[in-house]
Amino acid sequence: MKFGFELWVGARYAGLARLASRRSGKRAGPSGGSAGGSGKDRFVSFVAMMSMAGIALGVAALIIVLSVMNGFQKDVRDRMLSVLPHIELFVPGQMPEAVLGRFEELAERAGDHPEVVAGAPFVAAPAIVMRGQVLRGVQVRGIDAQTEKSVSELDSQMVSGSLEGLVPGEFGLILGQTLAQILGVGVGDTIMVLAPQGSVSPAGFSPRMRQFTVAGLYRSGHYEYDSSLVFAQAQDAARLFRDTGSAGVRLKVQNMYEAMRVASELQQMMPSDVFVADWSRNNRTWFAAVQTEKRMMFIILALIVAVAAFNLLSSQVMAVKDKQADIAILRSFGATPGKIARIFLIQGALVGAIGTLLGVGAGCLIAYNVDVIVPALEQFFGVQFLPQEIYFISSLPSDPRLDDIVTIGITSLVLSLLATLYPSWRASRVEPAQVLRHD
């Protein structure tokens, strides 16, 4: 083995050979002395072990936090897209009823794209729902009960009633389960819907309002939508919001991650008055904030690994200072400065590699079992870590990704290796004559 000597001595200085010799009952060091070492030897090894533990802790923390952030982003995104379209086609400035009349034309043009799976008409407008003394601002989505099933998962999310309850002319409304609890209503109850525009008469301003009947309740698992997004029949919504509502076509594509590219291509296929928007554009601010937060968390938590690397550098410098006599003896026996440098490079690399492997193992073990660990902790302490009204979701998701794990591992190994360069160079500069002259 080309570097067998350096590897064996470096492993001893890292504390690994000492552990092996204790298990086998052997205590011989590289120069024939006691492998148990003095109190100073044990202190140097202790500092090296603490550096290893610090690296493992930092790597594990990085993997767990990034996995949870990935899971949070994926869970919220999937719940968003279970009720929101992948792509929307709409015509700004036109009356909703006129745009609904062009649904077949727009859907047929969009269907020419190979990535488009299905389309459904929609009407969108803000409104206020009122039940007794309780008022709530909401977003009203007018949909077609039959075609909506092909572009969203709303039908499978119904907990009471069904989409078939949205019949043109009957002014039915489907509410989120959370909003229904806030208003204190159930299926069959009536609520008042106020449009943002109204009419002005000599008696003053009169808001446009209409009584709707609750036709069903849904639960998407996304608190914001369950508490503020309601669905009505498209024609009914167009009549109520004829001045301020917007209308168009909701599209579902084969791969939602390709929605941006598909939307760009559809824009070239549509008439000039049609605007195309994909799901990432409609929620760009939220996703950009999550990505920025993820990068900042990586930098902040990487400082834990950097601190552990500084500890490793300190332990290496202490080892070089403590082992100057051993280094001088090795140099007297013919060891070159390069071999001496490689001994301490190997020592630091072993500490960093083992710490990284331990951290990756612990981080992956926790990240892949967050869904079990967190509920157990919540039950044990009697607390809820994620109030749904604040974080949109009530459970802590996790999505470990190989590229993140590899990046974290490589970063840890590089920092550990960099921390060993200076002590290794110092060790290679030790002059045997000057050291042995005082012994």
- 317-347 residue pLDDT tens: 887 887 778 778 877 777 788 888 888 888 8
Read off the pTM: 0.68
CB 239 within 8 A of CB 212: no
- Predicted confidence (pLDDT) per residue in 351-378, tens digit: 889 999 999 999 999 999 988 888 888 7
Q: What is the predicted pLDDT for the residue at 26?
A: 46
Beta-carbon contacts of residue 184 (< 8 Å; ≥ 6 apart):
131, 132, 134
Beta-carbon contacts of residue 17 (< 8 Å; ≥ 6 apart):
8, 11, 35
- Beta strands 134-143 and 116-131, pairing class: antiparallel
Annotated domain spans of the chain: 4-76+287-436, 92-273
* Run of H or E including 373: helix 370-381
Q: What is the predicted pLDDT for the residue at 35?
A: 42
In the predicted model, residues of the chain with pLDDT beneath 50 are 1, 16-36
CB 326 within 8 A of CB 435: no
Q: Cα 98 to chain center, whole Å?
A: 41
What are the backbone angles phi and psi of residue 426, rounded to the nearest 5°?
-65, -40
Q: What is the predicted pLDDT for the residue at 388?
A: 57
